[in-house]
Every structure is written in C-alpha cells, then in structure tokens.
Structure 1
Amino acid sequence: MTAELTFAPLPSRALIAVGGPAWRDFLQNLLTQDVASLAPGEARFGALLTPQGRLLHDMIILGREDGCRLDVEAAQRKALIQRLAIYRLRAKVEIAAAEVPVAAAFSSAHSGAGGNPNGGSSAADSAWAPAFAGVSGSWVRDPRLGELGWRGYAAAAPDGAAIGTEADYDAHRLALGVPGPADWGSDKTYPIEADFDLLNGIDFQKGCFVGQETTSRMKRRGQVKNRMLPIAFEGAPLAFGAELLAGERRAGEVLSGGEGRAMALVRLDRIEGAALSVDGRSVQVERPPWLHRRDA
C-alpha cells in the first residue's frame, strides 16, 4: 500500500435502507437516477428534486440483494425519510435509517489538474484498489468521478493508508472541481447548474421522475447559463455568497471553499475573456479536465 492513499471518515454522511417488494418501482418514479437496473454491489449517483426541478437531496444509491441503501447528508436524513414516507402511500416499501459509518479512500495523486483523463481507474488506482476493495467493510468506486476514489461502509482504514479527516476529503474534492451539498443547498439550485448531468447524476433515458420536466427541458435546449466551477485566487478564503464580477457586471457568486480556492456558481456567458474579481481581488475560473471530457 502506498502512502498516497488517505482514509477519511465522513461523519456528514449517513445511510437510509430501502427495501420491500416494490422498492425499485418506488424509487424509479422519484429519483433522477435509474434504479431499475441497479445491481447488488453497484453504486450510482442521483438526487431527489422538487416538482419544480430544484435539488432537495443528493445521494449515492447502493445496490443490495434485498433492496438498496442511500448515502445521504446526515443532517438531512430524517427529512428525507419523512419525504419518502409521504410518497410511499400504500406501496410495499420499507424505509429506515441504517446506522453504518461512511468513509472515503482517495489518492492525492488524483487531485488538481492531473488525474485520469478517462475519468475512471488509473494505473495508480490499480496499485492499491484491489488490495482493499471488498476487505474490511464494503467499498464501491465513487460513481461521480473516478478520481474521487472509493466510498467505504462500515470500513476500516486499509493497511498503510494515512488517516485523514473529512476536511482532507473536501479539499481533495475541491481540488478536482467537484461541487458538494454546501454549494447547492436545498431547494435553491437546479441539478444541471450543480453539474449533476456531467457527474453521472441524471439518467435522461429512464423516464419519469420528480422534477423531470424542468430538468429535461434545460438539457434539450442546450442553453445552460449557470454552472458550478472552481475559482482560484491568492490568499484568505472568500466570503460565501460574495459577488463575482466580470468587470462591472455580475457574473456569479462564491460558494464553499478555503484558502486560495472555492466553488462558484458562474454565468457562462459572462466569464470568457473577462477580468474577474471578488471584493476587489482577482480570481480565475478553472475548467477541470473532467468537465472538458463530458461537457458537450
């Protein structure tokens, strides 16, 4: 095991167990992701939207022999269980909290502009992934982006891995330019604005789901005005919600981040070739390699 592998518990995440005879049809009609073909041991990224098409809850959907588990925000788990119970009506579906700790294992070699140009496993992955996949708990490849690494459930740290924190994982995710729940909030953002369509979070072929009409219309028109992209700058963190300017014109707003780097929701039609600033400080919008690969 190489020292570049980091194991980080993710206390901000929690699991919901969904089962019963009708669980597939139930979730298939609700979520942005296809669950009809979800296999045991497989992970897919998706979300539950409002009827108006805004993001309510993100999730990683984990296939199991007897149903699935939903990897969700711990702070929102109770609210999501309650919402799913409202949709359930008389369907033969069981929904309950599952007390299973969530963790991530990732390689620092994949942060930043590097990483696998194909978005999947790289040569560096093959050196360590087989050594712990399926060992010391359940491990699945992160379905959003290969460079993000692995998700672990009831998993111990792999032998030789450095022990990190959720802050370390968030820094890794931010270095890759992947937004998170702190960026999109609840009932504020359309999933395409949060790059769900580019991070395998929406299946446009699956048929109906809550919020599908608005989501599909945005995709069909091919006119996405706003997207979440990383911004780079010198010095201290920028204030959440601070205005991003292109000259004198508003071009977006700052979201989560830290020193020297943050996510921002940007107006794509205003950033090209413009001098960008936040509170008088120069910033640069970056386009991660995975976005070039996937953005049509």
Structure 2
Amino acid sequence: MSNIAAIKLDHRTILKLDGEDLVPFLQAVVTQDIGRVSPTKSVWSALLTPQGKFLHDFFVASSPEGGFLLDCEKERAADLLRRLKLYKMRSKATLEQTDNRYSILALQGQNLDQKFGIPLEKGASKAIANGCIYIDPRHPAMGARAIIPTDKLSDFLKENALSESTLADYDQIRVALGIPDGSRDLEVEKSILLENGFNELDAIDWDKGCYIGQELTARTKYRALIKKRLLPVKLTGSIPEAGSDITNSGKNVGILRSVYGNLGLATLKIDAIGSDQLLCNGTNVTPLLPDWIEIDA
C-alpha cells in the first residue's frame, strides 16, 4: 500500500464538452483563460451572473477523447448545463452530463509527482486510464485530483496501491487552507469572487478580455471594493451550526459558512479580522490567515 490516499468525491460529477467552437464559446463566458487548458494543464474557473455574482465553480481538464471534462457540483450540474447551453447559442459545441460514467478522486500524500509522473505545479496534468490526473489548480497542498471512468476505478486503485480515505479528511485539509467548495461555502447569486479567494487561488484571468460578469469583477478589484473575506476560523467552545452569525462586541460582523470539527470557514468583515472578541453563539472565533491570502486592511 502506498502512502497516497484516495478520497472519492461523490458530491461531484463530470460534464463532457466538445466541438470545434468549444474554446471560443467558453472563453466568452467563464472567468479563466480556457486557452490554457491542454493535456498537460487544467484550470479552476467560475460562471457568474451578468452582475458579477457567483453561480458555479468548476475544474476544466482536457479529455483524452477530445474536448474537456468539467468537474462540478453534482446536485447543481443540471443548472450549470442549462446555463451554459443558454450562452452556447449557435456555437458548434456539444455539452452533456455523464451521469455516473466517471468517478472523481482527490489524492493526498507524498511524492505524487513520482507516483504519477507529473510535476508538482498547480494544474499540471496527465492523461491516465481514459481520464486524467492533475495537481489541484488552487493550491498545491490540496494534492491532486483524478477523473477516472467508473468501470476502471477499482483497477486504478489497486494498480496504484492507493489507500482510501473520507470526505471528512479531505474537508479538514481544505478548510484549514481556507479554500471554498462551491455552494457549500458561497451564496449563489450573492457572493463575489474576490471576497472568497478566487483571485489568489487562480480562478480569474485578468488579461483574457470580456466574460459574463467581468465588468463588476474588474471594478471590485481596481476600486478596492472588497470589504469581507472568507477565512478559516478556529472554534473554541461548543461548536455552533453553519449559518450562525459572528459578532464583535455585540455587532454582527460575519457568518459561519461551514464547520468541520473545531475548524470552520467564515465570511468576516475585514476590519474585524484582527479582533480577539469574535463570538458565534457564545463560542470564541479565531480567524486563521492562510499563506496564500492577500488582504488590504
């Protein structure tokens, strides 16, 4: 057995995208430069409302069969597909759900580069088992992700001597790093990407030109309009429920988005981050600043 653990991400699914107009179609719609996607490079991206608010986030990887494999939230995949089809119009592109044809894994452990023959660089990718494996484009400490045909999953796990771990273990790592997971941590049609780490975590290309919601996203950056940030927090005391308000001297300064043990992700006003008086239903809340975050106080 290797020292690499595989976590099956059953809350994710794959959309299969193909067609001669696929790249220009997506380039005009999503936040990342789709021209970067290749057999050796995968990206993280998002779809916004015309007003620049969060709708969906997803990973885009090259398919060995041609086109792209889009890794997204399973419960919201139909909505993402519907919205993409609305923007496709007459573009020569095919968009389809794959149901359970693919399984999505997170891979955690040492020597991923040696094990799978890919460099430890964000988004570095390689075709494997009629699917692909790639280093997480958001942060290298998140390890790798693999998209494997479900009928080949058992062989993939055995051939690579991978141990199996749980989603809870994956979430502990993710939350400690302050990395959001779609609508589990962001409010659909309300959240702004720059308040939730999408800039530092490389989901936005600032040079690619127009996309849906680009104007507000750019204005938020260049006019320094960011007033809140999503951060990991340590909870000391009784563990409150997700969705609970966070206060500072009785004033509401944030909301607890998700909880995993004594860690959570919370949206906090920037001017409250340095306070040692933060409470959530009587529980002490201590903000933790990950190494990647950039905050202008």
TM-score by length of 2: 0.86
Q: Is the contact between residue 12 and residue 73 of structure 1 (CA under 8 Å) also seen in structure 2?
A: yes
The 5 A counterparts of 1:218-237 are 218-237=220-239
The 5 A counterparts of 1:157-168 are 157=157, 159-168=160-169
The 5 A counterparts of 1:213-252 are 213-252=215-254
Structure 2 unaligned runs (5+)? 119-125
Could you tell me which amino acid in structure 2 is paired with residue 78 of structure 1? Answer: A
In the TM superposition, residue 63 of structure 1 has moved relative to its aligned partner by 2.3
Q: Is the contact between residue 236 and residue 258 of structure 1 (CA under 8 Å) also seen in structure 2?
A: no
1-structure distance, mates of 2:188, 2:280? 25
The 5 A counterparts of 1:6-85 are 6-64=5-63, 66-85=66-85
Instruction: Give aligned pairs, total.
Output: 278
1-structure distance, mates of 2:274, 2:2? 40
2-structure distance, mates of 1:24, 1:183? 29
Provide the residue aligned with 1:115 in structure 2: none
Could you tell me which amino acid in structure 2 is paired with residue 33 of structure 1? Answer: Q
What SS does the corresponding residue of 1:244 show, helix, strand or coil? Answer: strand
What SS does the corresponding residue of 2:171 show, helix, strand or coil? Answer: helix
Q: Does 1:151 align with 2:145?
A: yes
Could you tell me which amino acid in structure 2 is paired with residue 37 of structure 1? Answer: R
Provide the residue aligned with 1:180 in structure 2: 181
Structure 1 unaligned runs (5+)? 110-123
Match 1:130 to one of 76, 97, 117: 117
Q: Does 1:279 align with 2:281?
A: yes
In the TM superposition, residue 239 of structure 1 has moved relative to its aligned partner by 1.3
Cα 1:162–1:242, aligned 2, differ >3 Å: closer, same or farther?
same
Write out per-residue CA displacement over residues 165-205 of structure 1, whole angstroms, 9 at most, x where no aligned residue: 22221222112221212010421211111111111111111
Provide the residue aligned with 1:100 in structure 2: 102
1-structure distance, mates of 2:165, 2:237? 24
Task: Tell me the C-alpha RMSD between the 2 structures.
Answer: 2.2
Provide the residue aligned with 1:114 in structure 2: none
Cα 1:159–1:37, aligned 2, differ >3 Å: closer, same or farther?
closer
What SS does the corresponding residue of 1:290 show, helix, strand or coil? Answer: coil
1-structure distance, mates of 2:43, 2:113? 21
1-structure distance, mates of 2:75, 2:187? 12
Could you tell me which amino acid in structure 1 is paired with residue 160 of structure 2? Answer: D
Cα 1:64–1:230, aligned 2, differ >3 Å: closer, same or farther?
same
2-structure distance, mates of 1:23, 1:130? 29
Write out per-residue CA displacement over residues 54-102 of structure 1, whole angstroms, 9 at most, x where no aligned residue: 1101000112463212111011111111111111111111111123111
TM-score by length of 1: 0.87
Could you tell me which amino acid in structure 1 is paired with residue 242 of structure 2? Answer: F
- Spell out structure 1 runs of 4+ moving beyond 6 A: none
Q: Is the contact between residue 58 and residue 72 of structure 2 (CA under 8 Å) also seen in structure 1?
A: yes
Cα 1:35–1:126, aligned 2, differ >3 Å: closer, same or farther?
closer
Could you tell me which amino acid in structure 2 is paired with residue 167 of structure 1? Answer: A
2-structure distance, mates of 1:11, 1:42? 24
2-structure distance, mates of 1:125, 1:102? 17
Match 1:265 to one of 261, 264, 267: 267
Q: Which moved more, 1:139-148 or 1:177-186?
A: 177-186
What SS does the corresponding residue of 1:85 show, helix, strand or coil? Answer: helix
In the TM superposition, residue 251 of structure 1 has moved relative to its aligned partner by 1.4
